[in-house]
């Protein structure tokens, strides 16, 4: 299969500007998903709400060199070594490229369509077939005019079966999906009422869906559904049928009985006259129906009834995404701002209703306009109002023009706003108390601004983060590197305590090549907040692979055990070619493959397609200290040998990196392709322990001042004994906020109006007391714990630790405030 840019240009009939050689492995339409810039072809798509052309400069910066465009960029001379493939319609180009790709395969391809259940049926077919066959399937619910071509492109020389879902929202769309998928086996799940008004009738809609199956060898559907049966008759297909029925025992697949238990359902069936049975761990009707479709497909592939029964028993549910958090004033927040279609609204409302623990609380829904439903607003919001009513919602806040226009349809206590900003400005959010609040909005509405305000954050202690200083530090270290050396910025541990999102956003704006976090949750938080840069996970947990796949978070892999688990999980999720970063142990003796294990690692990597090495790296143990320089040099040598051995086994570029902050400063010769910047970014030079440009300042406020008599004591255990009449101020920061308890009893001080105020007595969990006898101050005055005027290294020196520990100890409940001029 030749994916040379030359060939692709021909297939899509493009006018090619540029002559650079390239071989394309990846098609990209969403710049956030970029993984392998060198081997990526980006399609700049114009949609109703967005224009992909605007991401071209950013992608170019990140290393992408191949673009399919409708319009050429104005400053085309600024782009070196690129190919622009100019076409009339980049979506059509994407589709015809995928259709051409499909033609190269003579293997069974399952096409799944219908109103509901497509994704679940596709996943379950996969779960039933994949132990025997290599199955390529649509990721998630990639079933649209864009998702289908991207899915089909994932087929490669290993694929033995393809399973793809197709969804449409308008008449005529199915034809283009048929050309791309060209299914040989068709599954029609069911026909429901969604997206109705664009179709003349249910029958037209059913006929439209059936066009997907025009050239199929076999067709699978519910024969008891009169509408579907009659449409299949009318379509005059010559395909063989595996129609299943619960009433007609002449049908090829006859369902004899369905027995629901407490947690599982047993289904008895006869296929071509032979009786068998299976049990699934679900009891709802939709799951039962979905299992019957999947059963028919498995039978067609001649999976034995025994194996089917084994695999059915362990079917896994297809997950949904809902977050529950504590809110202010006794509220509970259910956050689901991922999408806003009717089906997911219903699921979320259902979820909210089931939260039995919160029965005493009122139920509030904050809902944005529902976009691209395909229905007229009148019908749509009538349905929404009905759902809201049925699910026992007490109050609704609607945001958006459409939902506001339909406000009269809602019977509940109600408030409507045209925009999210109007809602925020209205002060209504501050008044909510003791409610369960479901926050559900399309991405465009940025409902995260609402949840931010409703989330519980106590305290008047804040960490101020100076983003300008961050950028200054970034540039200071960048100047020490060659211009082509890529940079990973470490934002693990909430960006060394500074708060990961804002820091990540700032770094992304300054075009760093990678962000690195410790665990998957840190990464998903960034993704949910809209960070699109490539993200590396340094300590991937075995339990979080799904999160990594969902959010395109690229794990570090340091052992065979981890690698095997990852490959297995990727297989289960239908993920292929997921980028990973190989860690080699060159002397830290913490985590990593031993250099001798490289041949075995190469052979394992070659025998699978789930993951693909994007980079290889190691970590220096003493780059900040001259006494370890010979050890450092040895580490670099070992790394050089091991990494080139790995690279030699693969044709694609694998990035090599070993330098951390001190390494950048002291071992510039070992830059390889990339460096990893951590502490330096946050202002601390690990070599000199000096602060470059201070980034984080931890501040608190004086809550109350007491006049305390000589020989009285302050705080627990009467530790703080006073030698004179004193003024003692209480500040709302304690060891639970990250103020180390060992700083108490006069060992350290903070600054009040620029003057040193020692800690008196034991530091408590949430409060500390300071001596302000000699300081002119009043309640409400600011206190600096560390930062611009009191370097963090003063505290780490007192405690005999390193600044990393102080910075990362500032707890989550301390609010972060960012500024930049
Ligand atoms: C944290 C970390 C770094 C950054 O180290 P600094 O000393 O803060 O620059 C680099 N590489 C790895 C693997 C890390 O875990």
3 state SS for 560-581: HHHHHHHHHHHHHHCCCCEEEE
Which structure tokens are listed for 615?
A: 């980079």
Give me the chain's average pLDDT, please: 90
Asked whether the beta carbons of 616 and 647 are under 8 A apart, the reply is yes
Q: Are strands 655-657 and 362-368 parallel, antiparallel or unpaired?
A: unpaired
Identify whether 103 is a catalytic site residue: no
Query: CB 231: neighbour CB atoms within 10 A?
Result: 22
Q: Are strands 553-557 and 534-537 parallel, antiparallel or unpaired?
A: parallel
Identify whether 699 is a catalytic site residue: no
pLDDT of residue 194: 47
The pLDDT of residue 530 is above 50? yes
Pick the residue whose CA is nearest to atom 6 on ligand 1: 678
> Please, which residues bridge with residue 187 across strands?
112, 220
Highest mean pLDDT among 313-322, 492-501, 508-517: 508-517
pLDDT > 70 in the chain, percent: 94
Pick the residue whose CA is nearest to atom 12 on ligand 1: 619
Tell me, using a 6 A CB cutoff, whether residue 37 lines ligand 1. Answer: no
CA distance linking residue 213 with residue 221, whole number of Å? 12
Dihedral sign, Cα of residue 741, residue 743, residue 747, residue 753? negative
pLDDT of residue 40: 92
Pick the residue whose CA is nearest to atom 1 on ligand 1: 678
Greater confidence (494 vs 67) lies with 67
CA dihedral 434, 435, 439, 440 (to 10 degrees): 180
pLDDT of residue 641: 97
Greater confidence (86 vs 429) lies with 86
pLDDT of residue 572: 86
| CA 382 to centroid of chain Cα atoms | 33
What's the 328 CA to ligand 1 centre distance in angstroms? Answer: 36
CA angle 369, 375, 377 (to 5 degrees): 50
Least confident window among 25-34, 409-418, 461-470, 775-784: 25-34
Closest CA to 67 of 89, 93, 86, 88: 86
What's the 677 CA to ligand 1 centre distance in angstroms? Answer: 7
Domain with CATH 3.40.1390.10 in the chain: 3-91
> Please, which residues bridge with residue 653 across strands?
none
The pLDDT of residue 299 is above 60? yes
Query: CB 673: neighbour CB atoms within 10 A?
Result: 17
What's the 695 CA to ligand 1 centre distance in angstroms? Answer: 18
Tell me, using a 6 A CB cutoff, whether residue 676 lines ligand 1. Answer: yes
Give the atom of ligand 1 at the shortest distance from the alpha carbon of 686: 7
52-60's contacts with Cβ under 8 Å and 24+ in sequence apart are 52/90, 55/31, 58/31, 58/511, 59/28, 59/31, 59/34
Greater confidence (174 vs 49) lies with 174
pLDDT confidence tier of residue 320, bands split at 50, 70 and 90: very low
pLDDT of residue 361: 83
Look at phi and psi of residue 92 and say left if phi exceeds 0, alpha if psi is from -120 to 50, else beta.
Answer: alpha
pLDDT of residue 456: 66
CA angle 567, 652, 58 (to 5 degrees): 95
Which structure tokens are listed for 204?
A: 């037209």
> Please, which residues bridge with residue 244 across strands?
222, 253
Asked whether the beta carbons of 117 and 343 are under 8 A apart, the reply is no
What's the 517 CA to ligand 1 centre distance in angstroms? Answer: 10
Query: CB 285: neighbour CB atoms within 10 A?
Result: 11
What's the 740 CA to ligand 1 centre distance in angstroms? Answer: 23
* Residue in the structure block whose two tokens are 């769309």: 173
3-91: CATH topology is: 3.40.1390
Residue-wise pLDDT for 137-190, tens only, equals 887 778 999 999 999 998 988 889 999 999 987 888 999 999 999 999 999 998
Among the options 492, 505, 552, 583, which is catalytic? 492
Give the atom of ligand 1 at the shortest distance from the alpha carbon of 619: 13
Greater confidence (431 vs 254) lies with 254
Domain with CATH 3.20.20.10 in the chain: 462-682
Domain with CATH 2.40.37.10 in the chain: 696-819
Asked whether the beta carbons of 565 and 557 are under 8 A apart, the reply is no
Q: At what angle do helices 226-235 and 202-210 cross, to 10 degrees?
A: 50
> Please, which residues bridge with residue 782 across strands?
701
Residue-wise pLDDT for 638-660, tens only, equals 999 999 999 999 999 999 999 99
Pick the residue whose CA is nearest to atom 15 on ligand 1: 538
* Residue in the structure block whose two tokens are 């954050």: 457
The pLDDT of residue 520 is above 50? yes
Would you state the CATH architecture of domain 696-819?
Beta Barrel (2.40)
323-454: CATH topology is: 3.90.190
The pLDDT of residue 507 is above 70? yes
Give the atom of ligand 1 at the shortest distance from the alpha carbon of 664: 9
Domain 105-312 has CATH 3.40.50.300: no
The pLDDT of residue 513 is above 80? yes
pLDDT of residue 458: 46
Closest CA to 113 of 172, 173, 162, 168: 168
3-state secondary structure at position 488? strand
Least confident window among 157-161, 325-329, 537-541: 325-329
Tell me, using a 6 A CB cutoff, whether residue 490 lines ligand 1. Answer: yes
- For residues 814-820, give the mean pLDDT: 79
Indicate the CATH number for domain 462-682: 3.20.20.10
Asked whether the beta carbons of 115 and 194 are under 8 A apart, the reply is yes
CA distance linking residue 252 with residue 297, whole number of Å? 12
CA distance linking residue 819 with residue 442, whole number of Å? 28
The pLDDT of residue 199 is above 60? no
pLDDT of residue 321: 46
- For residues 118-130, give the mean pLDDT: 91
Give the atom of ligand 1 at the shortest distance from the alpha carbon of 676: 10
Domain with CATH 3.40.1190.10 in the chain: 105-312
How far CA 258 is from CA of 168, 245, 300, in Å, comes to 32, 12, 21
The pTM of the full predicted model, rounded to 2 decimals, is: 0.55
Residue-wise pLDDT for 343-381, tens only, equals 667 767 877 776 545 567 889 999 999 875 556 888 889
Closest CA to 143 of 171, 182, 112: 112
């Amino acid at each position: 299969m030749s994916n040379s840019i030359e060939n692709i240009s021909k297939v899509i009939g493009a006018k090619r500007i540029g002559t650079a050689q390239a071989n394309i492995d990846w098609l990209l339409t969403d710049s956030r998903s970029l993984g392998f810039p060198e081997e990526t072809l980006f399609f700049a798509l114009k949609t109703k709400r967005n224009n992909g052309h605007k991401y071209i400069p950013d992608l170019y910066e990140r290393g992408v060199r191949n673009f399919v465009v409708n319009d050429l960029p104005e400053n085309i001379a600024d782009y070196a070594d690129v190919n622009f493939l100019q076409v009339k319609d980049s979506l059509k180009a994407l589709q015809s490229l995928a259709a051409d790709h499909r033609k190269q395969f003579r293997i069974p391809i399952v096409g799944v369509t219908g109103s509901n259940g497509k994704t679940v049926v596709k996943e379950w077919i996969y779960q039933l077939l994949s132990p025997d066959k290599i199955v390529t399937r649509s990721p998630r619910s990639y079933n649209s005019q864009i998702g289908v071509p991207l899915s089909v492109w994932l087929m490669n020389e290993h694929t033995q079966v393809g399973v793809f879902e197709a969804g449409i929202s308008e008449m005529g769309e199915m034809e283009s999906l048929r050309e791309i998928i060209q299914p040989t086996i068709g599954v029609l799940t069911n026909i429901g009422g969604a997206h109705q008004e664009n179709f003349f009738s249910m029958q037209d809609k059913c006929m439209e869906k059936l066009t997907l199956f025009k050239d199929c060898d076999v067709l699978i559907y519910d024969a008891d559904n009169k509408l579907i049966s009659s449409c299949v008759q009318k379509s005059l297909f010559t395909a063989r049928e595996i129609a299943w029925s619960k009433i007609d025992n002449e049908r090829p697949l006859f369902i004899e009985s369905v027995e629901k238990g407490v947690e599982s359902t047993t289904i008895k069936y006869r296929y071509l006259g032979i009786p068998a049975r299976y049990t699934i761990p679900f009891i709802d009707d939709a799951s039962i129906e979905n299992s019957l479709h999947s059963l028919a497909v498995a039978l067609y592939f001649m999976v034995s009834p025994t194996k089917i029964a084994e695999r059915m028993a362990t079917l896994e549910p297809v997950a949904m995404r809902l977050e529950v958090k504590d809110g202010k004033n006794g509220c509970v927040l259910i956050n689901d701002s991922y999408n806003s279609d009717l089906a997911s609204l219903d699921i979320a409302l259902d979820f909210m209703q089931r939260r039995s623990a919160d029965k005493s609380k009122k139920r509030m829904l904050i809902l944005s306009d529902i976009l691209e439903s395909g229905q007229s607003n009148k019908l749509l919001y009538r349905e929404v109002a009905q759902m809201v009513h049925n699910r026992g919602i007490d109050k609704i806040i609607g945001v958006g023009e459409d939902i506001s226009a339909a406000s009269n349809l809602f019977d509940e206590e109600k408030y409507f706003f045209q925009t999210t900003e109007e809602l925020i400005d209205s002060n209504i959010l501050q008044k909510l108390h003791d409610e369960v609040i479901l926050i559900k909005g399309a991405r465009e509405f940025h409902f995260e601004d609402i949840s931010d305000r409703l989330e519980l954050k106590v305290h008047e202690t804040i960490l101020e983060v100076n983003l300008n200083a961050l950028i200054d530090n970034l540039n200071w270290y960048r100047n020490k590197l060659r211009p082509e050396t890529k940079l990973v910025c470490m934002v693990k541990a909430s960006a060394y305590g500074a708060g990961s999102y804002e820091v990540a956003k700032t770094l992304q704006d300054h075009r760093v090549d990678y962000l690195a976090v410790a665990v998957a949750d840190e990464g998903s938080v960034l993704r949910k907040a809209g960070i699109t840069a490539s993200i590396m996970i340094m300590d991937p947990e075995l339990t979080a692979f799904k999160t990594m796949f969902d959010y395109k978070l690229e794990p570090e892999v340091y052992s065979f055990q981890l690698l095997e688990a990852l490959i297995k999980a990727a297989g289960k999720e239908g993920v292929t070619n997921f980028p990973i970063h190989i860690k080699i142990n060159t002397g830290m003796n913490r985590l990593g493959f031993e250099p001798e294990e490289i041949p075995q690692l190469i052979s394992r990597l070659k025998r699978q397609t789930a993951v693909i090495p994007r980079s290889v790296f190691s970590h220096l143990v003493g780059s900040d200290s001259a006494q370890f320089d010979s050890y450092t040099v040895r580490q670099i040598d070992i790394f050089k040998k091991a990494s080139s051995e790995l690279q030699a086994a693969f044709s694609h570029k694998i990035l090599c990196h070993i330098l951390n902050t001190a390494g950048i400063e002291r071992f510039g010769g070992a830059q390889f392709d990339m460096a990893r910047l951590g502490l330096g970014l946050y202002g601390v030079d690990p070599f000199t322990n000096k602060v470059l440009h201070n980034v984080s300042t931890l501040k608190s406020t004086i809550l109350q001042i007491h006049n305390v008599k000589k020989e009285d004591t302050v705080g627990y255990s009467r530790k703080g004994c006073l030698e004179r009449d004193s003024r003692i101020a209480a500040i709302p920061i304690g060891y639970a906020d990250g103020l180390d308890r060992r700083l108490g009893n006069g060992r350290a001080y903070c600054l009040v109006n620029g003057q040193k105020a020692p800690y008196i007595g034991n530091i408590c969990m949430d409060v500390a007391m300071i001596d302000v006898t000699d300081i002119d101050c009043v309640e409400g005055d600011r206190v600096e714990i560390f930062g611009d005027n009191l370097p963090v290294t003063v505290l780490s020196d007192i405690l005999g630790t390193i600044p990393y520990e102080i910075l990362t100890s500032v707890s989550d409940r301390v609010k972060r405030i960012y500024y930049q001029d």
